[in-house]
Structure 1
Amino acid sequence: MTTTAPAELARVRYLVDDVREAVDFYTTHLGFTVDFDAAPAFAAVVRGRLQLLLAGPKSSAGRPMPDGAVPTPGSWNRFQLVVDDIATEVARLRSAGLTFRNDILSGPGGQQILLQDPAGNFVELFQPAPLDRTR
């Protein structure tokens, strides 16, 4: 398993029903390699400068929203912006009157929150967890 610096990649998150099945599909059929594996909750596969984040039902990305809506595969797709300090960014954007779909969540890969654009599309702000240099 290799870990690529998040700022070096274009990142897309897909919600999936089964992380292991999704990893097998992308690595077997489409030339991706495993970049990070925290299955069954989450995994990341990479091909060139694209990192595909595969989030299962037990991942932080699959948790219900405050209003009870549950993210499901085939919806809730968004692009991700990596930030250095998610709490500071959220405070800055909230003070500007912007709308968030949820609060900051922590998961195996880091912290995230969903910002809504004026049309209701999602932008995920993400602060990666520190890399474990002991592996």
Structure 2
Amino acid sequence: MSETTVNVRYMVDDVDSAVEWYTKHLGFSLLSNHAPAFADVRRGALRLLLSGPLSSAGRPMPDGERPSPGGWNRIHLVVDDLAVEVERLRAAG
């Protein structure tokens, strides 16, 4: 069976910090890093396009509003024990 990659653009404030977080704490591997504008990381079939304010995705909308982190995109990572993962990630900051 072939694997289909799902690409999700995810706005971040700091591309290098996001790369470190996703690779160090969430098991993603780095595909490319063009900080401060953009990087992409992969975990299984999920490719996250980590887009900073200087990326093309950071351009203002027609009404002048700038895209920012915490928008409508969400990712779902399956874990064995949610409470353990929450504690581990809190401890990591």
TM over 0.5: yes
SS at match of 1:44: strand
Partner of residue 40 from structure 2, selected from 44, 51, 60: 44
Structure in which a larger fraction of residues adopt helix? 2
Q: Which residues of structure 1 form unaligned runs of 5+?
A: 1-6, 79-135
User: Partners in 2 of 1:12 and 1:68 — Cα distance?
Assistant: 23
Query: TM (normalized to structure 2)?
Result: 0.71
Q: Aligned residues: percent identity?
A: 62
Q: Using CA pairs below 8 Å that are at least 6 residues apart, which structure has the higher relative contact order? A: 2
- CA RMSD of superposed structures (Å): 1.7
Q: Which residues of structure 2 form unaligned runs of 5+?
A: 75-93
User: Partners in 2 of 1:37 and 1:10 — Cα distance?
Assistant: 19
1:14 matched residue in structure 2: 10
Query: TM (normalized to structure 1)?
Result: 0.50
Offset at 1:8?
A: 4.0
Write the mapping of 1:1-135 to structure 2, written as runs, cut at 5 A: 8-77=4-73
Offset at 1:77?
A: 2.9
Structure in which a larger fraction of residues adopt strand? 1
List structure 1 runs of 4+ shifted beyond 3 angstroms. none
